[in-house]
Structure 1
Amino acid sequence: MTKPKLIVILGTTACGKSGLGVALAKRYQGEIVSADSRQVYRGLDLGTGKVTAEEMEGVPHHMLDVVDPGQPYSVAQFQQGAYEAIDGIVGRGRLPFLVGGTGLYVRAVAEGFVFHAAPPDPALRSELEALPTEELRARLAARGVALDVDAWNNRPRLVRLLEKARTGCDPHAEAQRDPRYDVLTLGVNFPRETVCRRIDDRLLARLDAGMVEEVAALRAGGVPDDFLEGLGLEYRYILWYLQGKLKTEDELVDELGRAIKRFAKRQVSWFKKDTDVHWLDMEADPAAEAGALIDAFLA
């Protein structure tokens, strides 16, 4: 049987994935499924760069705001939700676009990872959650478990990988694949200097828009500090600022800006491993280039 067609738009942070996705979805009567491990959480808006209702321009978006902050949420849960959203889009006769920068989430859907559940072990999880992040990484390395860019600072993911390994399950079980869709993957990126400038500009804009206040409100609403720290980047560094570990806003901007740039560099390395990505020239006319590729794919 012919598989439904899926357009994937991936790439590094601050490179315009959301805007390009909206433009192409409008052109092809499509709907967007977000593939971002932090945008699934309600209330994590400025810190995650979540697309606003105005920026959506009427294009339906799925897999945003599906779980409360502080609640556990796995890539397997995301995959199931994304499958349901994509199948619904196809059933309505529209074209699905999977848009995001969380490589594991994108690959789980686009490549059809097959997950095997490891039974929860509360005692083991409690032991692992008490360990520093560096120790979690070291234990995984000792077991030969490679880490992707999204897992590197993701404590819940690190704990889950160790839990799977320690309970007899293969932490790489998702290497088994059963693809459900015919996929065209488009990549967005800029030269390193441009990426760094865009990161700086976006960071200052988000701080001006109230990103520190967003994190403070999450804490006041009962979201645990360890959850916020586990989210990494904006939430971790702003938490440190609110805790007094970073003394000034200038120090926050400097430290957080450098952390985001390091993350973007790791993203490039991760995404460049995929030889099936059509990298768009973002300094020319990426929408036109993408349109030509999509036209040929759909034909």
Structure 2
Amino acid sequence: MAARKLPVVALTGPTATGKSSAAISIADHFAIEVINSDSRLFYQGMDIGTAKPSVADRAATPHHLLDTLEPHKTMSLAQFQDQATALIGEIHARQRLPIIVGGTQQYINAVVEGWKMPRVPPQPELRNRLQCEADEHGREALLARLERLDPVAATSVGLNTRRIIRALEVIAVTGRPISEQQGKGPVPFVPHLIALTMPRDLLYQRIDARVHDMIEAGLVDEVRALLANGIS
């Protein structure tokens, strides 16, 4: 008999809909651990501007993938998928409920839909060279090259220069079309997706209030500190 798959909750929604607060409320009723999927909350020194969960909330409920990166580093989609999937297994082993919380939907989808993707790290020199070609000859020239090497990928990337460069980068490193290395597979858990929403006028009021609170809390000084450290 196949092992019973355990649940994973993914809590998403636009900025200021109350995702983090909702997760903390759930913690009042269930034994949970939070896996952050907001791409800006990975970074150290970006606390106010990202509305990072408070120290008190993090002490009361375990949070993962917060403050894991220095601002000049990056978290690739594949890295997030690997780390989040490993954390889900660890949290289940502790007999707790994993809740993925954040507004970066692509990260959530990669985990709960079992995306398959090439494990090719960024190649800075190659990317810079391709970007220079795009600047000089237009991104259409890069797209034409991709059409020759991987027609399937060329139809899906559109005129997004970053995606065109990524496809060419993967082909250069692996020698295979990127489209052959993508897809979806089974996941070892049962995902439950919750999307928060609210009327637009109320959402805008909440965003305005949040920005005001951020400025009062020292957002300007936080940005100055990042700029002073070469982060822009």
Instruction: Give the TM-score of the pair, scaled to structure 1.
Output: 0.63
Alpha carbons 1:110, 1:179 under 8 Å: kept = yes
Paired position in structure 1 for 2:129: 127
SS of 2:38's partner is coil
Paired position in structure 1 for 2:23: 21
Alpha carbons 1:40, 1:63 under 8 Å: kept = yes
Alpha carbons 2:131, 2:165 under 8 Å: kept = no
The structure-2 alpha-carbon separation of the partners of 1:122 and 1:186, relative to structure 1 and needing over 3 Å to count, comes to closer
SS of 2:156's partner is coil
Deviations 1:224-276 (A, max 9, x none): x2xxxxxxxxxxxxxxxxxxxxxxxxxxxxxxxxxxxxxxxxxxxxxxxxxxx
The structure-2 alpha-carbon separation of the partners of 1:69 and 1:29, relative to structure 1 and needing over 3 Å to count, comes to same
SS of 2:9's partner is strand
Alpha carbons 2:78, 2:119 under 8 Å: kept = no
Q: How far apart are the structure 2 equivalents of 1:8 and 1:55?
A: 19
Show the 5 A alignment for 1:237-252: none
- Please, which runs of 5 or more residues in structure 2 have no aligned partner? 148-153, 172-176
Alpha carbons 1:25, 1:97 under 8 Å: kept = no
Show the 5 A alignment for 1:189-204: 189-204=197-212
Paired position in structure 1 for 2:217: 209
Q: How far apart are the structure 2 equivalents of 1:215 and 1:137?
A: 36
- Please, which runs of 5 or more residues in structure 1 have no aligned partner? 153-157, 226-299
Q: How far apart are the structure 1 equivalents of 2:113 and 2:211?
A: 32
Match of 2:87 among 75, 85, 88: 85
SS of 1:144's partner is helix
Paired position in structure 2 for 1:53: 55
* TM-aligned CA deviation for residue 38 of structure 1: 1.1
Paired position in structure 1 for 2:118: 116
* TM-aligned CA deviation for residue 111 of structure 1: 1.2
* TM-aligned CA deviation for residue 137 of structure 1: 10
- The number of aligned residues is 212
Show the 5 A alignment for 1:60-79: 60-79=62-81
The structure-2 alpha-carbon separation of the partners of 1:4 and 1:136, relative to structure 1 and needing over 3 Å to count, comes to farther
The one-letter code matched in structure 1 to 2:13 is G
The one-letter code matched in structure 2 to 1:72 is T
Alpha carbons 1:25, 1:32 under 8 Å: kept = no
Alpha carbons 1:118, 1:164 under 8 Å: kept = no
Alpha carbons 1:39, 1:64 under 8 Å: kept = yes
| Backbone CA RMSD of aligned residues | 2.7
Show the 5 A alignment for 1:89-108: 89-108=91-110
Deviations 1:136-167 (A, max 9, x none): 799679933358xxxx8xxxxx63x3333114
* TM-aligned CA deviation for residue 55 of structure 1: 3.3
Paired position in structure 1 for 2:178: 170
Alpha carbons 1:21, 1:99 under 8 Å: kept = yes
The runs of 4+ residues in structure 1 deviating greater than 6 Å are 135-142
Deviations 1:85-144 (A, max 9, x none): 211111111111111110011111111111212465443211355668xx7799679933
Identity level (%):
33
Match of 2:9 among 2, 7, 10: 7
The structure with more radius of gyration: 2
